[in-house]
């Protein structure tokens, strides 16, 4: 656990409340996650991170579920405990079934394995991949 407390809505400065309000409105949730309550210790980072995530995670050429699964794949590769927990929940909310999660983990595991095989065997890039 962190030695610094989370900053709850009731104790937040107006600039922090404005971000919390936008998160709650955008995500249709009653309260924001701990991640935001800790970033609130640094309001410029809170604001910038939320605005970037809102832009990046909005459905576009990729749908919301695909984006959440990619987020989870990165978090699992990095071994970020908080991020794995929160984005597993977010991906499930976006429609990820148990079967999809199982296949996602299988791909993530396999990619981490072959990344090292390519490193260890010092495989040169095929000319076809440069064109």
13 sits near its own copies (criterion: CB under 8 A): no
Site string for its own copies, 94-123 (x = CB under 8 A): ---xxxxxxxxxxxxxxxxxxxxxxxxxxx
Site string for its own copies, 52-71 (x = CB under 8 A): xx-xxx--xxx---xx-xxx
Binding its own copies (rule: CB under 8 A), the pick from 22, 44, 91, 94 is: 44
Residue pair 104/95 in contact by the 8 Å Cβ criterion: no
Cα(16)–Cα(7) distance, integer angstroms: 9
* Shortest distance (Å) from residue 101 CB to its own copies: 8
Q: Which is nearer to its own copies, 18 or 45 (CB)?
A: 45
DSSP letter string, 42-79: SHHHHHHHHHHHHHHHS-SSS-HHHHHHHHHHHHHHHT
Residue pair 87/71 in contact by the 8 Å Cβ criterion: yes
30 sits near its own copies (criterion: CB under 8 A): no
């Amino acid at each position: 656990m962190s030695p610094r407390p989370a900053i709850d809505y009731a104790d937040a400065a107006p600039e922090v409340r404005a971000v919390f309000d936008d998160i709650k409105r955008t995500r249709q949730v009653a309260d924001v996650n701990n991640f935001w309550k800790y970033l609130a210790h640094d309001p410029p980072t809170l604001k910038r991170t939320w605005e970037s995530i809102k832009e990046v995670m909005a459905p576009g050429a990729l749908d919301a579920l695909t984006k959440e699964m990619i987020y989870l794949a990165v978090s699992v590769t990095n071994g970020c405990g908080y991020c794995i927990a929160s984005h597993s929940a977010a991906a499930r909310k976006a429609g990820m079934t148990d079967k999809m999660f199982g296949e996602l983990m299988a791909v993530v595991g396999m990619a981490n394995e072959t990344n090292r095989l390519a490193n260890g065997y010092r495989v040169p890039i095929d000319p076809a991949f440069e064109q």
